[in-house]
Structures are given as C-alpha cells and as structure tokens.
Amino acid sequence: MASVGQPAPDFILFDSAKNQIGLNNLRGKKVVLLFYPFAFSSTCTKELCYVRDNMSLFNNIDAEVLGISVDSLYTLARFKEEQGFQFTLLSDFNKEVSRLYNAIYEEWNYNMKGVSKRASFVIDRQGTVQYAQVLEKAGDLPDFDAIQASLNAIN
C-alpha cells in the first residue's frame, strides 16, 4: 500500500501507445499518479480534462502525470486522442497496480468487480510518496490544490 513517507510501490504498465512505463524509470522527476474508474465517464473526463487544461502547472515544475485505469490500451488510446491529452495514460487491465496502491473497488456498481477508485498520489524525485488521497465516492474529484501544494513543496 502507498503511504505518505514510504517508498512508492514500483510497477510496470503499458501506456496507450503500447510502451512499457516503469515507475522506477521516472526517478529524478516528480510524479503524479491519478487513478480513475473509467475512460469516457463524465467525472473521469472532467478530472483528466482539468489536467489537460492545466498542464503548464505540471510541466513548469518538472512533474510527470500518469493516468491509470483498468481500461484496455485501445480504449485509452481512443480516449487520449479524442480529448487531446498530452500526458500518459496507463492500462492496469489486470488490476495489479490499483490493488498495490489500495485504489480499487473490489465490487462496484452493476456487479462490476475490480474497478480503480479515484485516487491521487504525489511521488518525489527519490520515489517517496509525499501525498495520497483515495476517494470512496467515484463522483468526487481529487483535491488538485493539495496535489499542487505537495508538488510545489518538493525541491
């Protein structure tokens, strides 16, 4: 489980362009992990469009944003293209990373099992979790002000 002050659990996932992305490969950068339930759903689209529309806030402080859901690579590629996202979307189709970060609904609406919760984590340049928020209600949005404050506090 990812807790503030602890090393962020490492993982390797495929992005929407079918490239392997490993968290340890991003050492030296600030990283924001944004887990979300489903591409194309209203709240998830609103969340990721906020990031898209405010990318300069992340780019200006050398922060890498990674969106993570249990959607397939193909769904994520279409979502990224249609919304014009300029950040990485990762497929946790096997639900391993969502479980590793304790960001998963084992049972969710309509008898769906294994859906990512809306959660956000800020990881510093050394790979330590500096901020963690796991939301129980999928309709809630992350606290982007707290995410930004955490990023700004990292040297």
- Cβ-count burial of 26 within 10 angstroms (0-12 exposed, 13-18 middle, 19+ buried)? middle
Quote the pLDDT of residue 72: 97
Structure tokens belonging to residue 57: 């806030």
Which among 23, 31, 44, 70 is annotated as catalytic? 44
User: Using CA atoms, how far apart are residues 114 and 112, in angstroms rounded to an integer?
Assistant: 7
Percent of the chain past pLDDT 70, that is, above it, reads 100
pLDDT at 1 over 80: no
Amino acid 109: pLDDT: 80
pLDDT in tens, 29-76: 999 999 999 999 999 999 999 999 999 999 999 999 999 999 999 999
41: phi then psi, degrees, rounded to nearest 5: -75, 160
The answer, yes or no, to whether residue 108 has pLDDT greater than 90, is no
Where do the domains of the chain lie, and which CATH numbers do they carry?
12-153 (3.40.30.10)
> Which tokens sit at 139?
């309709």
Judge whether 44 counts as a catalytic residue.
Answer: yes
Q: Name the residue among 17, 19, 20, 49 with its Cα closest to residue 34.
A: 49
At residue 110, the pLDDT reads 78
Residue 30 · residue 131 · CB < 8 Å: no
Phi, psi of 101 (to 5 degrees): -95, 10
pTM of the entire predicted model:
0.95
Question: Are residues 118 and 37 in contact, defined by beta-carbon separation less than 8 angstroms?
Answer: yes
**In the structure, what pLDDT confidence band is assigned to residue 3 with cuts at 50, 70 and 90?**
very high
